[in-house]
Amino acid sequence: MSQARMVQIEQDILGKNNQYAEANRRLFGERGMLVLNLVSSPGSGKTTLLTRSLEDLQADMSLAVIEGDQQTSNDAERIRATGVPALQINTGKGCHLDAHQVGHALEHLDPAERSVLFIENVGNLVCPAAFDLGEAHKVAILSVTEGEDKPIKYPDMFDAADLLLLNKIDLLPYLQFDVDKCIDYARRVNPGIQVLQVSATSGEGMADWYQWIRLAHQTRLVGFRSASAVAERQVNP
Q: Is residue 7 part of a domain?
A: no
pLDDT by residue for the chain (237 residues), tens only, comes to 556 555 454 565 678 999 999 999 999 999 999 999 999 999 999 999 999 999 999 999 999 999 999 888 888 999 999 999 999 999 988 889 999 999 999 999 999 999 999 999 999 999 899 999 999 999 999 999 999 999 999 999 999 999 999 999 999 999 999 999 999 999 999 999 999 999 999 999 999 999 999 999 999 998 776 655 444 445 455
Q: Is residue 215 part of a domain?
A: yes
Which is nearest to 102 in space by CA: 40, 25, 180? Answer: 25
Distance CA 72, CA 16 (A): 27
pLDDT of amino acid 223: 73
Extract the runs of DSSP E, i.e. beta strands, from the chain.
34-40, 63-69, 86-90, 116-120, 137-143, 163-167, 194-197
Range of the domain at 141: 14-235
Total domains, the chain: 1
Q: Is residue 9 part of a domain?
A: no
**Single-letter amino acid code for the residue at 157:** M
CATH number reported for the structural domain that contains residue 218 in this entry:
3.40.50.300
